[in-house]
Amino acid sequence: MPVFFIPSTQVVDNTILIQGDLYQHLVKSLRTRPGESLTFNDERGIRYVTTVKKVTRDELLAGVEGTETNPLPRPYSMVLGQAILKGDKMSWVIQKATELGVGTIIPLLTERVILKSHTTNLEKRWSRIALEAAQQSERWAPPSIEAMASFSQFLEIFAATPTKLILAERTIGHSLLQYPLPANPDAPIIVAIGPEGGWTSEELALAGKANFSYASLGARVLRSETASLATLAILSSRMQML
């Protein structure tokens, strides 16, 4: 069952009031009716199991039947720096990265990235996709979709982070199956994935100077979206995030 995200201010006296866009989605799209069960999460890490009590022209009222508290965070967190892909490929990567437990996604403007849409529209779309994927996969919270960053900005942001990987074809890189995880389970793992045309030699050199480790998925040259999915799946499995 999908989990829907709400602010805690909507929970009053064991009743949840739903209006606006979420109301439209639940009532107009999903045809939710009184007596049905719905599950909600708030920003405090509380999950509410509810029964719909009333549906009006612009409001849905759900009664809280029980609650759960977010268990302790799983060890390690992943940050994905994904070079912006064309068309729906970027949306697909964001959706799958969310399902695989990524905590933060940073869209990267690399040398071989060409934007054809307005930046604000893209960022809103990606945030909505991440929210919907988090709801569908029953996450406790959606990932953070950060503002677009240049590759040099991305390297600078994580200058002090010890565990940093960059996927690069035709390089002698670490196998993701053997790459050592951080000694401190609270430390994040940073993963950089390039665009369809790959990283430039200058970008790879900059990453090396910034102490990023080259990582490999084998001899085959994979599409960017395939490399993202394979990398995150391997790391997620190793970190017991699935």
Lowest mean per-residue pLDDT among 5-9, 56-60, 136-140, 176-180: 176-180
Q: Locate the domains of the chain by residue range.
A: 3-69, 77-238
Give the pLDDT confidence score for residue 168 in this predicted structure: 81
Query: Using one digit for the tens of pLDDT, what is the confidence trace for 172-218?
Result: 677 888 888 887 777 889 999 999 888 999 999 999 999 999 888 87
Query: Using one digit for the tens of pLDDT, what is the confidence trace for 115-169?
Result: 776 676 888 899 999 999 999 999 999 999 999 999 999 999 999 999 999 998 7
Q: What is the CATH number of domain 3-69?
A: 2.40.240.20
Q: Which residues lie below 8 Å from residue 71, measured CB to CB, with a gap of 6+?
A: none
Give the pLDDT confidence score for residue 1 in this predicted structure: 73
Domain 77-238 CATH class label: alpha beta
- Residue pair 105/82 in contact (Cβ under 8 Å)? The answer is yes
User: What is the separation of C-alpha 72 from the centre of its chain, rounded to a whole number of angstroms?
Assistant: 19
Mean pLDDT, all residues of the chain: 90
**Count of beta carbons in the 10 Å neighbourhood of residue 43:** 11
**C-alpha distance from residue 57 to each of 61, 134, 182 (Å):** 12, 28, 52
| Residues forming a β-bridge with 109 | 150
Q: What is the pTM of this model?
A: 0.86
The confidence band for 58, taking pLDDT boundaries of 50, 70 and 90, is very high
Lowest mean per-residue pLDDT among 28-37, 51-60, 63-72: 63-72
